[in-house]
Amino acid sequence: MDFRFSEEEEAYRRELRRFAAKVLAPHYQADDKAAKLRPGLVADMAAMGLTGLRIPERHGGQGASAVLAGMAAEEVGRGDFNAAYLIIVSALVSDVLARHAREEQQADWLPPIASGQVVPALCVTEPGHGTDAAALETRAEPDGDGWRLTGEKTSITLGMAAHTALVLARTGGAGARGVSAFYVDLDDRHVTRAAFDDLGGRSIGRASLHFDGLPVGRDRLIGGPGEGFVSVMQGFDYSRAIIGLACLGAAQSSLDEALQWARDREAFGSPIGTFQGVSFPLAEYATYVRGARHVCYEALWKKDHDLEHSTEAAMAKFWGPKLAAEVIHQCLLTFGHLAYSTESPLGQRLRDVIGLEIGDGTAQVSKLVIARNLLGRAYAP
């Protein structure tokens, strides 16, 4: 068993770390205060190929492995956690399109995502349907040679900034088999948006989107009618491991800062790291972070090798954000009163990672998936 990344992968990690530290990190706190997506951020990410990681090279992307996409999210998460959403969402949407859209659709839709010209969103959650996504009520009603999309999607990441969206809507009867997927333009008079004033993730523009009879051409259907729910849910298995790594990147950055503080800060004539009450919690959390990171990369490695990875992805999704919040909290306490100021990034990181304890699937759903895979469906909730 070889736990090493290749030299090329390590070189890529070093390049990403320099980019995150020099280009992204200086804007992290200012973007939070501005509470909107910085105009230059998408261009910066696209210039590094980060908006097209999972897009085939023939469509202008990097054709990167799932492991490399996870590595990118981890390193970007170290410098600017919220910038990692551009990797998470674009990778998920483009992966679904690359697997299920027709070739001519891919040729039309994927290059603008890869270049950063188009920011996509994923529209699944509704006001009355989050975890129970198969019960969604947004409808696509037949209209001539297409449909009219009517309903509301809520808690949409990048909802205020996105140009396009992958939307799940009901075209048939109840349940998952009545749900289809459409790729639509959002800059239309039939779409209105309402931004949230959030605790964290303030720069990503989480929003509600109202579709008031949005015209959707037949060429905007992805796959066949009734196939949308399954295609998107399969994508979540992979994106959840990327989410875990983005959170762990923020946790690792906080750990690095706390460890340096334990060396530099003195009390009672000694560095505070010499006191077990300070060093042992950091040692414990460094261990947990390493373990969680292995779970995330295992899920992505299995994705790359076409192996079943839903258990590992679910573990990554509930453990990564939860652990990151715990780690960052402990690091804030290690610094003491200095880190309670908004001048420190630790408080913002804590607010930010908590959002992904909710988004893209709750811990309860992840544990349900794990339990069913471990016990068998007949012996689990």
- Find the CATH number of the domain harbouring 77: 1.10.540.10
pLDDT digits (tens, 9 = 90+) for 130-168: 888 889 999 999 999 999 999 999 999 999 999 999 999
Domain for residue 47, yes or no? yes
pLDDT digits (tens, 9 = 90+) for 273-282: 999 999 999 9
Domain for residue 2, yes or no? no
Domain for residue 203, yes or no? yes
Q: Tell me, yes or no, whether 195 and 253 share the same domain.
A: no
Q: Tell me, yes or no, whether 236 and 192 share the same domain.
A: no
Q: Which tokens sit at 93?
A: 């949407």
Q: Is 224 left (phi over 0), alpha (psi -120 to 50) or beta?
A: beta
Q: Tell me, yes or no, whether 114 and 126 share the same domain.
A: no
- Find the CATH number of the domain harbouring 172: 2.40.110.10
pLDDT digits (tens, 9 = 90+) for 76-96: 999 999 999 999 999 999 999
Domain for residue 1, yes or no? no
Domain for residue 373, yes or no? yes
Q: Tell me, yes or no, whether 129 and 109 share the same domain.
A: no
Residue 237's pLDDT is 80
Q: Tell me, yes or no, whether 150 and 178 share the same domain.
A: yes
Query: For the chain, what is the domain count?
Result: 3
Helices 228-264 + 84-100 axis angle, to 10: 160
Q: For residue 21, what is the DSSP state?
A: I
H-type helices in the chain, by residue range? 7-19, 28-34, 39-47, 66-79, 84-100, 103-115, 228-264, 276-304, 310-335, 346-354, 363-375
1 pLDDT above the threshold of 80? no
Q: Tell me, yes or no, whether 159 and 64 share the same domain.
A: no
Domain for residue 217, yes or no? yes
Q: Which domain holds residue 246?
A: 232-379
Residue 234's pLDDT is 81
Q: Tell me, yes or no, whether 204 and 312 share the same domain.
A: no
- Find the CATH number of the domain harbouring 319: 1.20.140.10
29 three-class SS: helix
Domain for residue 340, yes or no? yes
Residue 349's φ and ψ, nearest 5 degrees, are -60, -40
230 pLDDT above the threshold of 90? no
Of 99, 118, 137, the domain-final residue: 118
pLDDT digits (tens, 9 = 90+) for 361-376: 899 999 999 999 999 9
Domain for residue 347, yes or no? yes
Of 97, 118, 139, the domain-final residue: 118
